[in-house]
Amino acid sequence: MVVQVRHLESGIANGHKIKGWADVDDRLESLDLTVDVDQSRIALLAQEDTDGDGQITIADKGPKNFTLKAVDGQEAQITGTYQLAILLQELALASRAGLEKCQILGKRLVEGPVDRLTRLIPETYWTSLTRRLDESTIAAAGPDGKVSGGERLHIYVPAGVPEQLAYYNELSRNKPELNLQVTQIPDASEVSKSLRQYWDTPGILALAMDTEGDDIRGLDYTVPGYRFNEFYYWDSYFCCYGLLEAGKIGTVRGIVRHMIFQIDHYGCVLNGNRAYYLQRSQPPFLSDLVTRTYEHLVASNDDTAIEFLHEGILAAIKEYHNVWCCEPRQDPVTGLSRYRPKSAGVPPEVEKGHFDWFLAGPAKRHGLTIEELQKEYNSGRLKDEEMDNFFRHDLAMRESGHDTSARLVDAAADLATVDLNALLYKYETDIARAIKEKFQDALTVPAGVMPADHDSSTCNSAYWEAKAAARKAAVDRYQWNPETGMYHDYNTVTNQQTPFRSVTTFYPLWSGLASEEQAKQLIEGMLPQFEHVGGMVSTLPLPGSSWLPRQWDYPYGWAPHQILVWDGLRRYGYADHAHRVAYRWLYLLTKTFADFNGRMTERYDVVQKSEAAVTDGTEYGNQGSKFDGVNIEGFGWTNSSYQYGLKIIGEKLTAALKAGLAWEDIEGASD
């Protein structure tokens, strides 16, 4: 059923199934009490946090009725999970600030979850997730909780930026309390020759800085949050959706410059700016981020917009040719590209013991302990073909961003995936359009940007339009399946489409690669299968198999997939579907936030709208679900999906969301 937005006002006005988000006592709105922070917080947790996780949620079995006592003897009754959780959050914030007493205002306790999230994301979450690699925040940006030794502050600086090397060496001397270790590494063309030596000494990789005279300053960027305390490629891209909505254009420009810096000095935009990520990238989104940011700059009458676009498009061209459309990532037979990084070895960022089930066999074969095996293999001294094949696919899966998913296990490096080729088609069309419309159809390119066989110092739109047409033809030939009515990943070794059904089949809608007929088949045939009560699910179960679902599989949904599907549906004229799918996701996020002490997590169970939506789940746990009292970060791309999603659904559906209407309630209101 397609529900028209015009029906909502009557449905809300008539109170059709309106349950609201919580039993909010509006009488508290004028409350203004000064309380003892620690005394109040300890008493509240003792009474209401029955499972001892430092939060107040619907899973707790307390009375859900707390007497808040002010220092002047006044009292107020705070009832219900949501308001008690808000009280705890306000007390936790005061405690973190070192306050002995704080003011509790009723307007905060009665603030609805949609309004609260809309306020917190730009005011608090983005601030908490913002980093700079200079004296101001390097102590927070440097540590890495994922690896042994990651607590040490160690920065690697590429040879091409001697001014940064001088800056960090001086910082190390002037601030001995930082215990900052500084190491220079070769630039992109040479770093691969000594890559393995950096795996045993974890550290952060330098990013772009501003230099004016003798002053040098780091540029802002955002991290995903929790265990992910570094610059990630596609995480940063999706964070920019929310940052742009929040008006943080300076941070977005900094993120673009960091991406360009990495292409120039590390050879690609890295999976993350840690030494062990060298030569491993992530899903490419630079061309879209550059054009999207350019449009915001133009709208604000920024006179540097065209310069920004020029620099960004040149970097996207360089990345396209030197990373994604050459060996080893490009398949010479199909012309399609694969996730296939040049890095090798056992990735150190995984949780301890993650690979023990596999490494036990090679360790026994070589007469070594698992720890000894990893050390010898990562050093390059031990050769093992079985391990080479296993980690070639594992590292490719990590480069895809979908680590881990059953559709990629033991196959990723051989797969021309739908997602990657749809993204590269977007590069081709973005670059063609920019050259034609903004650079008089002749873009001068420096040496090293275009392939060696390109016989001109310029390129025009026709060159890129031909690239796009060739890729579409290859995708239609190898990846589109008219019988299933969807796109499939293509195995370049077995020369077959894979049977897995992934939400990435909708990427061609986002990039504009699908024909109108293909889009129609996808939306009519596949959208109902992937759409669930909480939004779009990552994969469908594989019929007739005993596959082991991973975190990027059914029943989980992720923010980047939701955003790309929304925009893809709107691009092809299916705005009503986009509104519905976005609303489902926003409702799930809002319900989780209201029921679980303000959680905003990395992923959600979109199939069942219940407590299972925020359980720790598979692999390393659900980031954003564990905190003490108050969530001050959200989770990067989830924050963005909320801000951007509200823009997608518009004012009337946002009003329905604030009223606590599930999509099923809205359908009923429109009958």
3-state secondary structure labels for all residues of 382-400: CCCHHHHHHHHHHHHHHHC
Q: HSE of 60 in the Cβ direction (CA atoms, 13 Å)?
A: 26
Q: What is the pLDDT of residue 614?
A: 55
Residue 302 resides in a domain: no
The model's confidence at residue 13, banded by pLDDT at 50, 70 and 90, is very low
Residue 629 resides in a domain: no
Say yes or no: 38 and 158 in one domain: no
The region of weakest confidence among 108-117, 193-202, 342-351, 526-535 is 193-202
Output the DSSP codes for 85-100: HHHHHHHHHHHHTT-S
Say yes or no: 186 and 247 in one domain: yes
Q: What is the pLDDT of residue 188?
A: 79
Q: Are 404 and 355 in contact (CB under 8 A)?
A: no
DSSP element (H, E) containing 140: helix 138-141
Which among 601, 627, 645 has a CA at the least distance from the CA of 224?
A: 601
Say yes or no: 70 and 142 in one domain: no
Residue 318 resides in a domain: no
Residue 343 resides in a domain: no
Q: What are phi and psi of 6, to 5 degrees?
A: -65, -20
Output the DSSP codes for 19-72: --SS---GGGGG-EEEEEHHHHHHHHHHHH-TT-SSS-BTT--S-SEEEEE-TT
Say yes or no: 171 and 249 in one domain: yes
The region of weakest confidence among 253-267, 298-312, 335-349 is 335-349
Say yes or no: 172 and 254 in one domain: yes
For range 100-117, the mean pLDDT: 96
Per the structure, the count of domains in the chain is 2
Which among 407, 410, 419 has a CA at the least distance from the CA of 549?
A: 407
Say yes or no: 278 and 175 in one domain: yes
Residue 438 resides in a domain: no
Residue 136 resides in a domain: yes
Say yes or no: 167 and 266 in one domain: yes
For residue 403, indicate whether it is catalytic.
yes
- Domain final residue, candidates 284, 300, 335: 284
Q: What is the largest CA-CA distance in the chain?
A: 83
CA distance 117 to 123: 10
User: Tens digits of per-residue pLDDT, 492-502?
Assistant: 999 999 999 99
Residue 103 resides in a domain: yes
The model's confidence at residue 151, banded by pLDDT at 50, 70 and 90, is confident
User: Tens digits of per-residue pLDDT, 507-565?
Assistant: 999 999 999 999 999 999 999 999 999 999 999 998 766 667 789 999 999 999 999 99
Say yes or no: 231 and 148 in one domain: yes
Q: For the range 94-103, what are the long-range contacts, defined as Cβ-Cβ under 8 Å and sequence gap of 24 or more?
A: 94/37, 95/37, 95/38, 95/41, 95/629, 96/630, 96/632, 99/37, 100/36, 100/37, 100/38, 101/34, 101/35, 101/36, 101/37, 101/71, 102/34, 102/35, 102/37, 103/32, 103/33, 103/34
Strand 75-79 relative to strand 65-69, pairing: antiparallel
Which member of 220, 394, 403, 605 is catalytic? 403
Please, which residues bridge with residue 337 across strands?
330
Say yes or no: 149 and 81 in one domain: no
Say yes or no: 151 and 251 in one domain: yes
Q: What is the pLDDT of residue 16?
A: 35
The region of weakest confidence among 54-58, 212-216, 279-283, 597-601 is 212-216
Which member of 430, 602, 633, 665 is catalytic? 602
User: Tens digits of per-residue pLDDT, 219-238?
Assistant: 999 999 988 999 999 999 99
- Domain final residue, candidates 222, 249, 284: 284
- Domain final residue, candidates 284, 302, 334: 284
DSSP element (H, E) containing 356: helix 356-366
Sign of CA dihedral 83, 85, 87, 89: negative
For residue 214, indicate whether it is catalytic.
no
Please, which residues bridge with residue 221 across strands?
131
Residue 210 resides in a domain: yes
Say yes or no: 219 and 163 in one domain: yes
Whether 616 shows a pLDDT value over 60: the answer reads no
CA distance 460 to 390: 42
Q: Are 55 and 627 in contact (CB under 8 A)?
A: yes
Query: Which residue range(s) make up the domain with 77?
Result: 22-111
Say yes or no: 254 and 164 in one domain: yes
Strand 443-444 relative to strand 75-79, pairing: unpaired
